[in-house]
Homo-oligomer: A and B are copies of this chain.
Amino acid sequence: MSRLARGPDGGRPEASRQQLVTIAIDCFARHGFQGSSIDRIAKAAGVTKGALYYHFRDKEDLLLEAVQNRIGEFERHVVEAVAASEDAQERLKRVVDACFFTATASNHRRFIITLMVEALDTNPRLSDKFRMVLRRMRGFLADVVTAGQRRGTLRTDVAAADAAALIAGTIMGAEIQHYQDPNEVDLRRVLDAHLQQLADWLARPAGTAA
Kindly list chain B residues whose C-beta atoms are within 8 Å of the C-beta of A184: 131, 135, 138
Interface size on A, residues (CB 8 A): 48
Residues of chain B with a CB closer than 8 A to A158's CB: 193, 196
How many copies of the polypeptide does the oligomer hold? 4
Segment touching B, from A6-14, A72-80, A146-154, A174-182: A174-182
Question: Chain A: interface secondary structure?
Answer: helix
Is A116 within 8 A of B180, CB to CB? yes
Q: Is the CB of B35 within 8 A of A122?
A: yes
In the complex, the answer to whether B180 meets A130 with C-beta atoms within 8 Å is yes
Does A163 interact with chain B (Cβ within 8 Å)?
Answer: yes
Q: Check if B35 sits within 8 Å of A181, measured CB to CB.
A: no
Which of chain B's residues have a CB closer than 8 A to the CB of A31? 121-122
Provide the residues of chain B in CB contact with A46, threshold 8 Å. Answer: none
CB of A64 within 8 Å of the partner chain: no
Known: A32-B118, A34-B34. A193 touches B166 (CB 8 A): yes
